[in-house]
Structure 1
Amino acid sequence: MQAQAQAEQVLKEKFGYDHFRAGQDTAIDRVLAGENTLVVMPTGGGKSLCYQIPALMLPGLTVVVSPLIALMKDQVDALNDNGIAATFINSSIDFREMDERLRQAAMGEVKLLYVAPERFESDQFVTELNDINVSLLAIDEAHCISQWGHDFRPSYLSLSTVPQRLTSKPAVIALTATATPRVAADIRQRLGIPDDGMVNTGFERTNLSFQVIRDQDEDRYLSQYLKLNQDQSGIIYASTRKEVDRLYTMLAKKKLPVARYHAGMSDADRAASQEDFLFERKPIMIATNAFGMGIDKSNVRFVIHAQLPKDLESYYQEAGRAGRDGLPSEAILLYKPKDVMLQRFFIDNSEADEAHRRLQYQKLQTMIQYANTGECLQQFILNYFGQTGTKPCGRCSNCLDEREAVDVTTDAQKVLSCVVRMHSRYGKALIAQVLTGSHNQRIQEWHLDELSTYGLMQNQSQRDVTTFIDFLTASGFLQTNGGQFPTLGLTETGAEVLRGNQSVYRKTAMKARQSLAVDDDTFQALRAVRRQLAEQSKLPPYMIFSDATLKAISAAKPTTLNEMLAVKGVGEVKLEKYGQFFLDALTEHAEETNAS
């Protein structure tokens, strides 16, 4: 009980919160008791506090394994600004600086040391850590340790032996936002975490609205969305550098405040682009998925995938970068069937073995089904991660869909009939070619042009028919079989449609809308002060105060520092550093408002 009270005191003093979120207190109690723990929480759920607070309470050093240099620097900067002694060791510093930081750790001058997983491949580094009392080993992005995870990294494998190689035998806490039951079991097995040692608060992001946009001009939709939701920060993901450059050029011509980021740019250009985004000079970032994992920016209001991601785990992690501060945000997927071919190309040309390629094809198929389902999008994702029995979210594009539902039973029967006549031996591309009356050489060689369903949908394009087949698959009328070249067969529900016992309905196209809240004048005044302080401190604005804290200050309108300390998210260190600036801004804004 005493430890719990102390943890709550640290939470209030250092981070400005009165109460823990769901699961945080359980994880912290386990860590303080020296028990190995796996924490599965959605992005923005507060995973980092599960090791940062114990780090301030335990006698020795907390070593945090983090996969990216940018992520380490971001987290260390935020901790230092909050009066918490932390540092990192990675390839960006020389050996002399590394020795100095290890000395600081040994002397207790820092409480958290961030390192890359590759460090533990060096016996010398482990020997140096053995001269330090390491109380806790925290492994961030722990899904990287599992070969079944979407972002498996061989460098993470050595981590399974680290607790035994450290003489202090620290407790282990592993943390991830994306772990299917299979991945979670693999993490536990590799790190010696008992079955009852998992703290899983669920995967739902109640502040995120998921949307899928299909069957329309994606460029037009994107331009309209950005213009309708101005002054908001967001990330637009594309799968290739070429598409990033194309979107950047198109949107820059429309005078939108965009930056770009991909591996084909120079280090200096990438760094400048990232800084423009973090400091909100250019609040819209267009990037490949190389961007974002190392970014802790809490006030990203939208994440738009302009091309289909490779799997649902990647999508949920990337989409989860929106709304980390808990405020309403959006995750939008612009789906085009041709993007499926691009992802298949990536799989075909990967260095993965045959078994792993089959797994990748299966995951891609699930991603396609997500893009075409008519059911609740959040529910679809939760079911994938093993969280069953959930109710529709009531906020995704499918739940809120008020578009007209069109009866497409006749077209559905044409497709289903064609699948039956092709004996369920072919994939959607060839089925679409038969239905649209293609003169493809294979069709003629295999006499598929003699089928009664040949040309039944010749008044439609192959693209539209292929998209319709995806819709029927996602809706459960068709099922895929096989990996790299999946074939299609009828489900029992599809057979009922073919028999005329069930109808099929499909919604019309969706339009862009202004969906993100417009910020009030008081918040905008506080944001201007935050931006000025950020430039002076050389820290991204969200590290000063999050949007959620800024909105809370805006609503409370404190007139004294003591009143401001009561606002959620305002801790003692930041109050002393920045409090008076925001009080002055509130007073000035009130005077201007009254004068007008």
Structure 2
Amino acid sequence: MQRLGKLAAAETQMVMLTATLPPSEEDELFRRMYVEREQVALFRAATARTNVAYRVIKVGKEMKKKEVGEIVLGMVRQKLRKHKQGKVVVYGNSVAKVKELAQKLDCHAYHHKAVGKASMLEDFAAGRKRVIVATSALGMGVDIPDIRCIVHIDWPFTVLDYAQESGRAGRDGLRSEAVIIVQEGQQRPAEDKREEVEQRLVGAYVEGVDGAATCRRVVLDGYLDRRETERVACKKGEEKCDVCRGADDEEEEEGESEEEEGGSEESSVN
């Protein structure tokens, strides 16, 4: 990016395109591109996808690793049954956890050290494997249209990471889901001030602003687009998040799962 900034010396028009540039990073971009804010005509569209239903499932901090793993397996298998023709991506923060879950799901484990990542994506895109478990190595540049559900099984590192990874869902415009399954009290400690800020934002998304239930889109829009003053809930035409659906969330899940093994999912598991 720093080298691209030298294009400013050409003194001609430039168009810069990015999928996820938070307003807080705009000044840094302009600095690196050697332009002043008043020289830029900025066009910004909503980052969060209107066709994705966002949801968080919190499990009790006293639960054992095996119990949490069973909840994750049940969730992934339920989503594969629900989306019979679609695909599911599961994100984990550690290679060990990704490998372990992939083995149980009989699918590929995609991470930065994995051998044959290109063939893994080919299998996944072609539907030979309808689920893939990955670290953040599977991120930008993946444009598979029929991914119906993204499942995070750890606390996201940042809201930006989550926006990019959950944005793999519903690229064809059809109804899709982005689900986080997190264990309460298991968010990793921050190593510096910047991480502390990022983790507070993730905490607001997962647990609500100041501990109060908050529409998931309010938090996403507030950080990604600085539109927090424009909404208090999911709007008409958007797939409602679990907070906005409220009691309807559990009722709908029961309707979708009543003929499937495992029954309905709960918004919180103790």
Query: Does residue 365 in structure 1 map to residue 214 in structure 2?
Result: no
The share of aligned pairs that are identical, in percent, is 25
Cα separation, 2, equivalents of 1:512 and 1:170: 58
CA distance 1:275–1:200, shift in 2 (3 Å): same
Relative distance call for 1:292 and 1:179 in structure 2 (3 A) is closer
Q: How big is each residue's C-alpha offset from its partner over 1:54-105, in whole Å with a ceiling of 9 and x where there is no partner?
A: xxxxxxxxxxxxxxxxxxxxxxxxxxxxxxxxxxxxxxxxxxxxxxxxxxxx
| SS in structure 2 of the partner of residue 393 of structure 1 | coil
Instruction: Report the Cα distance in structure 1 between the residues aligned to 2:255 and 2:108, rounded to whole angstroms.
Output: 23
Distance 1:239 1:513 in 2: 32
After superposition, the Cα gap between the structure-2 partners of 1:290 and 1:359, relative to the gap in structure 1 and judged at 3 Å, is same
Write out per-residue CA displacement over residues 304-350 of structure 1, whole angstroms, 9 at most, x where no aligned residue. Answer: 11111111111011111111222211111111235412xx3xx54xx
Residue pairs, 1:203-282, within 5 angstroms:
203-215=47-59, 217=68, 218-219=71-72, 220-252=74-106, 258-266=107-115, 269-282=116-129
Name 1:54's counterpart in structure 2.
none
SS in 2 for 1:186: helix
Counterpart contact for 2:87–2:148, Cα < 8 Å: yes
Q: Is the Cα contact below 8 Å between 1:225 and 1:513 reproduced in 2?
A: no
Q: Counterparts of 1:391 and 1:187 in 2: how far apart (Å)? A: 30
Q: Which amino acid aligns with 1:362?
A: V
Greater share of residues in helix: 1
Match of 1:482 in 2: none
Residues 303 and 319, structure 1, Cα contact 8 Å, conserved in 2: yes
Whole-Å Cα distance in 2 between the matches of residues 512 and 230 of structure 1? 17
Amino acid at match of 1:232: G
What does residue 159 of structure 1 align with? 4
Q: What secondary structure does 2:141 align onto?
A: coil
* Contact persistence 2:90–2:153 (CA under 8 A): yes
Task: Return the alpha-carbon distance in structure 1 between the equivalents of residues 185 and 98 of structure 2.
Answer: 17
Contact 1:312 1:366 in 2 (8 A): yes
- Structure 1 residue 513, shift from structure 2 partner: 7.0
* In 1: Cα distance, 2:165 partner to 2:195 partner: 18
Partner of 1:144: none
Deviation at 1:193, TM superposition (A): 5.6
The TM-score normalised by the length of structure 2 is 0.77
1:362, distance to aligned residue in structure 2 (A): 1.2
CA contact (8 A) 2:79 2:149 kept: no
The question of whether the paired residues in 1 share the 8 Å contact of 2:59 and 2:181 is answered with: no
Equivalent position amino acid for 1:183 in 2: E
What letter corresponds to residue 393 of structure 1 in structure 2? C
TM value normalised by structure 1: 0.37
Determine the C-alpha separation between the residues in 2 that align with 1:222 and 1:203.
25
Distance 1:512 1:243, change over 3 A: farther
2:25 is aligned with 1:183: yes
Counterpart-to-counterpart distance in 2, 1:244 and 1:512: 29
CA distances 1:15-49 after superposition (whole Å, capped 9, x unpaired): xxxxxxxxxxxxxxxxxxxxxxxxxxxxxxxxxxx
Kindly tell me: are residues 224 and 278 of structure 1, through their superposed partners in 2, closer, same or farther at Cα, counting changes over 3 Å?
A: closer
**Paired letter, 2:113:** G
Give the paired residue count.
234
Q: Per-residue CA shift, 1:116-135, capped at 9, x if unaligned?
A: xxxxxxxxxxxxxxxxxxxx
Picking from 219, 223, 243, the partner of 1:380 is: 219
Matches of 2:219 and 2:25, distance apart in 1: 18
Instruction: Give 1:16-165 correspondences, 5 Å limit.
Output: 156-164=1-9
| Aligned with residue 296 of structure 1, among 135, 143, 158 | 143
3-state DSSP of counterpart to 1:302: strand
How far apart are residue 260 of structure 1 and its match? 2.2
* Counterpart code for 2:114: M
**Deviations 1:456-491 (Å, cap 9, x if unpaired)?**
xxxxxxxxxxxxxxxxxxxxxxxxxxxxxxxxxxxx
Residue type of the alignment partner of 1:162: L
Quote the offset at 1:236 in angstroms. Answer: 1.0
Does the Cα contact within 8 Å between 2:80 and 2:87 map onto a contact in 1? Answer: no
2:242 corresponds to 1:397 = yes
8 Å contact from structure 1 (residues 221, 512) kept in 2? no
3-state DSSP class of the match of 1:184?
helix
Which residue pairs with 1:566 in the alignment?
none
Gaps of 5+ in 2: 61-67, 258-270
Secondary structure at 1:199 match in 2 = coil
Superposition deviation, residue 171 in structure 1: 2.5
Which residue identity lines up with residue 159 of structure 1 in the other structure? L
Greater Cα radius of gyration, structure 1 or 2: 1
3-state SS of paired residue (2:195)? helix
The answer to whether the aligner puts 1:308 opposite 2:152 as a matched pair is no
- Residues 259 and 193 (structure 1 numbering): CA distance in 2 closer, same or farther, change over 3 Å? farther
